[in-house]
Amino acid sequence: MKAKRLFHDSQRPGRGRPRQAATGHAILRATREILARGGVHGLTVEGVAARSGVAKTTIYRRWRSKEDLALAALLEVVQREPPVRHLGHTRTALNAYFGRMISNFQSRLYGRVVRGLVSDLAVDRELARGFREQVLARRVAEVTGLLQRGIERGELRPDLDLEIAIDLLFGPIYYRLLISGEALTSAFIDRLVGAVMAYGR
């Protein structure tokens, strides 16, 4: 009967009372705080509503699910990340890049959200699209940039299979984070980057 509204947070036409920006921030702040302790598991729409002093309905008006909400909170953080520094040796740059990445994983928010959302990526297409387009694509582009510069600088061979190289770098990190549970230390990053450089030379 009633047409389903599709824009959950996205830009809407300028009719009716505009959304209160403050409301959105309050929601996301509460979300972050709850995520930090408790992770996605401990996140409930009811809880966010209570903590942010916002009505449950208002939250549902803007996000489809608590997973969407968690992703939004994640995005806020990701988008504030400083751009990559393309300086010095490729190996050094990669080390720095992934070093920062694993320290992000260690942080309450980032690691918990990613771990908490993985299972839902397989089930919720919208969520997966959001995560891949807004978080993953960015990271992949950054590292691809570093690798390409490595080729230009002659540190990597020109015919390097970039796609596989990307998988070889990101794969083991997520594998340790999610599956094997083994430590994500900078020593490990060093060995990993070393191996990929060796392969790519």
Partner DNA sequence: GACTAAGCGAGACGGTACGTCGCGTCTTAAA
Partner DNA sequence: TTTAAGACGCGACGTACCGTCTCGCTTAGTC
Nearer to DNA, 56 or 153 (CB): 56
Q: Which stretch binds DNA (CB under 7 A): 44-52, 98-106, 134-142, 158-166?
A: 44-52
* Smallest separation, CB 45 to DNA (Å): 3
Contacts of range 185-194, beta carbons closer than 8 Å, 24 or more positions apart: 185/102, 186/95, 186/99, 186/102, 189/95, 189/98, 189/99, 189/102, 190/95, 192/98, 193/91, 193/94, 193/95, 193/98, 193/169, 194/91
Both structure tokens of 13: 């036409």
Q: How many residues does the chain have?
A: 201
**Of 80, 141, 133, which Cα lies nearest the Cα of 110?**
80
Rule CB under 8 A: choose which of 36, 75, 121, 162 binds a copy of itself.
Answer: 121
Both structure tokens of 151: 């080729």
Picked from DNA, a copy of itself, none, the partner binding residue 23 (CB below 5 to 8 A depending on kind) is DNA
Binding site for DNA (CB under 7 A): 2, 5, 12-20, 23, 43-47, 53-58, 60-62, 65-66
Binding site for a copy of itself (CB under 8 A): 2, 39-41, 50, 112, 115-123, 128, 132, 136, 161, 163-165, 167-168, 170-176, 178-181, 191-192, 195-196, 198-199
